Amino acid sequence: MRHLLRSLCLILALCFVTLPITGTGQMAYAQQTIEGPDYAAWEDTATRVETAIESGGVSTEILEDLRRELTQWREQFVNALGANSTTIKTVQDQLEAIGPPPENGTEAEDISAQRDELNRRLARLQAPVRTAELARSRADGLIQGIDEIIRNRQTAELLRLGPSPINPLHWPEGARVLYQLAETVQREVTGDWETPVGRTVFNDNLPVIIAWLLGGLVLLARGRHWSNRLMRHITKEDVSAGRWMVTFLISLGEWLLPYAGVYALVRSLSATALFGARGELVLATVLPAAFIFLLARWLALQIFPRTEKRDPLLNLDARCRYSGRLYGALMGLVIAAFYFLRNIAEQINWSEEATNVVLFPVLVLAGLLLFRLAKLLLMHSRAARGDSDAEETFRDQLARLLARALMLLAVLAPVLAAVGYLEAAQAMMLPALLSLMLLGALLVLQRVVTEVYVMLSGNREGADDALMPVLAGFALVVLSLPLFALIWGARPAQLTEIWVRFTEGVTVGGTQISPSIFLTLAVVFVLGYLLTRLVQGALKNTVLPKTKLDAGGRNAIVSGVGYVGIFLAALVAITSAGIDLSSLAIVAGALSVGIGFGLQNIVSNFVSGIILLIERPISEGDWIEVGGKHGYVRSISVRSTRIETFDRTDVIVPNADFVSGTVTNYTRGNTVGRVIVPVGVAYGSDTRKIETILREIAEAHPMVLAVPSPNVVFRGFGASSLDFEIRAILRDVNFVMSVHSDMNHEIARRFVEEGIEIPFPQQDVWFRNGEALSGKPAIAQEAPPSDAKTPPPSEPAQKTEADYDGEGGEGDGR
């Protein structure tokens, strides 16, 4: 009968649980179907890409277009992976509620039917997800295939041997293309000027041309002068952080104002309408080249300043800084020239021989400038180290290694270009120059961050070693890594692929770990941690002081709330991030075994700390003795307890010592304690009088309790004195030493008033053969007179005899 009722209740519960499945469940399923990717169009795209990969004759530009198209498809498939996720989770929960089929195979037909229906529905819901997963996997494979083809082509191009630029047979070709470019531009300008339409347009635009021309010339001629004059006006002997920031912002005019002048000149020439296709190409290429040159010159001015009130970025003298400014400006000019000539060569389709001949002098000049800059960097490393015996810092080592690498590169790249490996030389030289510019920009930005920190905090001395500037500098370096990768030949598609892989994360134990999960975990945990600290502060300062709990109990409750709050914050953070802890059960089991063997002391101390907070044998503020150390308990943490001794030193004691060892707590529960003051008097004193005086002294002290009354004990007969003790109960044992001192002072005063002697031990020293010590002959010792006093037998005197032989040898103490 009981089994029948249990089965009936289970069937009714399943009917209520599975009610959404049978009626409205089908409608909900129909409403949640979303429009997925067009798999027919995807199949056509995938087939086309596979054909292009297998043919091997498709150009790199077309492959890049196909790759971008595949990336868009993959994004659609990734979005489709989350289709019906809510409904799938609901169905899975319902299957878990029903439970697995019984092992004996006997199950109610209704329950079995409900399980089958849920399994079929789960399969229908998961079908689009599995299809999207297969399509995404195929897209990943095609993208990897395209990347491999492009990477192999780039490698083959770098290793290809081309025509040598030092071959005199190729020089006329290089001169011819340059002459043709100039002649073509001149012919276009002359041809347009000779036409009536060209002169009419020029005359109509003449005011605009003059305005742009005058503005450009003024900015080019006076822009830097205006910026320098304004900076000198603001700069004083002692430059504050705010003034430095203003000066830095004004210094941008040395870069932007001349560039605005170049832009105005280009607009003036374009407004003439006399330039044809080649002329417009030249004008369009001039602007980026001028931008690069002016930026390099501005960076050189920042890294090698004329005058620097702060510590310079590089430890160089004025002459070396002048050379650095010159080399930096020339380096920017070389990069601009390289960009200009390479872009013109690609647009006009110069021959390879002509391109190599035209670019080779630029590479040689770049190598020379790079070598000079590397020497300056090496001089900075040596100057920063100073004495040769001084230890070299990591920054100095890095600067020295970078200088050596740049010197090697400055020699190797022109040699490769001279042989004919111009692509390899360009792939080495140009990225090195651009990387130097980026490093200079990072140094300038780091200085800006430091000055902002000084301006906000006012801490000039510790700004270089402060945490915030260091973290900001690290963030700048991390953010610059993609730029360095692009400079050294990485394709934007590769960086996008790395970012996609990074955001997708990795799978550990069936759980997807991604940066978004880590971010969610960190944010939720920090919020939970802050909430825990807020609750602790409210309990400690507002709620618990109004209760009757002692200080130790309040501290225990606050610490316990902290432990529980941090544990709950971690649990909520893990749950919010979507991490399934059940999938990490094996890993957690292995970690628990490792903790049990390798971290057993730490775990023991942690458990002991919890026991101390619960049992509270000691509390914060207690005076305890453990391991021969006296002191006050200042804090009970997870692993250890901090005790402050009377010498004001901290002793860190593991919590396990309090649980397994012996601890004396002088103030547990109350501060009442006993003081014992020993005192000795001379033989022959009135013992009852001594007892009365000592009792009066004890009763008169304000710290001594009247009940129980203090007691005076006659301990016995000592070697030199009659020994007494004052034993009194104090209301606060923390003052035991001061009470002891006060009673001693009072005893000394009263004994002097009453004429009571406090004895001290006396010793008589007897020497035999004293003549041997002085080197005189022995004289017969006279017998003492008969009336000489001898010590009474009741007052024995302590004697120390030293026997010496007649030769004055070593003594034998007895």
Tens digits of residue pLDDT in 43-85: 999 999 999 888 888 888 898 889 889 988 888 888 887 777 7
The more confidently predicted of residues 114 and 794 is 114
CA distance 339 to 691: 108
The SS3 call for residue 433 is: helix
pTM of the model: 0.67
| DSSP 8-state secondary structure symbol assigned to residue 704 | B
Q: What is the rounded CA–CA span in Å between residue 265 and residue 217?
A: 7
Q: 406: which residues sit within 8 A by CB, 6+ positions away? A: 370, 371, 373, 374, 377, 432, 436
Token pair 């402060």 in the structure block, residue: 466
Q: CA nearest 424: which of 681, 664, 90, 160?
A: 160
Closest alpha carbon to 27 in 19, 16, 35:
19
Would you say 746 and 703 are in contact if contact means Cβ atoms under 8 Å apart? no
Q: Torsion over CA of 139, 145, 147 and 148, rounded to 10 degrees?
A: 160
Close Cβ partners of 405 (under 8 Å, ≥ 6 residues apart)? none
More confident residue, 514 or 737: 737
DSSP 780: P
Mean pLDDT of 339-363: 91
Determine if the peptide bond prior to 207 is cis (ω within 30°).
no
**pLDDT tier at 599, thresholds 50, 70, 90:** low
Architecture of the domain whose range is 673-754: 2-Layer Sandwich (3.30)
Would you state the structure tokens that stand for residue 12, as one six-digit string?
């009714």
**pLDDT for 117-150, tens place per residue?**
888 888 888 888 888 889 989 998 999 899 889 8
Contacts of 163 (CB under 8 A, 6+ apart): 170, 352, 353, 356, 420
Q: pLDDT digit string (tens) for 496-515?
A: 878 877 777 666 655 667 77
Question: pLDDT-derived band of residue 371, with 50, 70 and 90 as boundaries?
Answer: very high
* pLDDT tens-digit map of 746-762: 999 999 998 888 887 76
Per-residue tokens: 317: 């003298």
Task: Break the chain into its structural domains and give their ranges.
Answer: 2-158, 169-205+272-497, 537-559+574-665, 673-754, 763-779+789-814
Look at residue 506 in the predicted model and tell me its pLDDT.
66
Tens of pLDDT, residues 381-420: 777 666 445 566 677 788 888 889 999 999 999 999 999 8
Q: Where are the alpha helices (DSSP H) in 238-276?
A: 241-251, 253-271
Closest by CA to 327, choosing from 294, 364, 300, is 300
Closest by Cα among 65, 79, 81 to 127: 81
Structure token digits, residue 541: 């300062």
At position 661, the amino acid (one-letter code) is G
Answer yes or no: is pLDDT of 298 > 90.
yes
Three-state secondary structure call for residue 76: helix
Rounded Cα gap, residues 276 and 299, in angstroms: 35
Q: Residue ranges of the alpha helices (H) in 109-195?
A: 109-158, 171-194
| Matching CATH number, 537-559+574-665, of 1.10.357.10, 3.40.50.2000, 2.30.30.60, 3.40.50.920 | 2.30.30.60
- Residue 474's Cβ-count burial label (10 Å; 0-12, 13-18, 19+) is exposed
Which H helix or E strand runs over 773? helix 771-774
Q: What is the arithmetic mean of pLDDT over 219-247?
A: 81
What span, in angstroms and rounded, lies between the C-alpha atoms of 795 and 721? 12
What's the gap between Cα 347 and its chain centre?
A: 47
- Contacts (Cβ under 8 Å, ≥6 apart) of 787: none
pLDDT reported for residue 130: 87
* pLDDT band at residue 791 using 50, 70 and 90 as cut-offs: very low
* pLDDT tens, residue by residue, 239-258: 677 888 888 888 899 899 99
Classify residue 406 by burial, with Cβ atoms within 10 Å: 0-12, 13-18, 19+: buried
Which has more pLDDT, 375 or 502? 375
Average pLDDT value for residue range 342-362: 91
Three-state SS at 51:
helix
Percent of the residues in the chain that have a pLDDT greater than 90, as a whole number: 22
Strands 629-636 and 623-626: antiparallel
63-102 per-residue burial string, b: 16 or more CB within 10 A, e: under 16: beebbeebeebbebbbebeebbeebbebbeebbeebeeee
Quick one: DSSP state of residue 33?
-
The per-residue pLDDT of the chain, averaged, comes to: 81
Q: For residues 27 and 47, give the distance between their C-alpha atoms in angstroms, rounded to a whole number.
A: 37
Return the number of other C-beta atoms located less than 10 Å from residue 115's C-beta: 19
pLDDT in tens, 628-666: 888 888 888 777 888 998 888 888 888 888 888 888 888
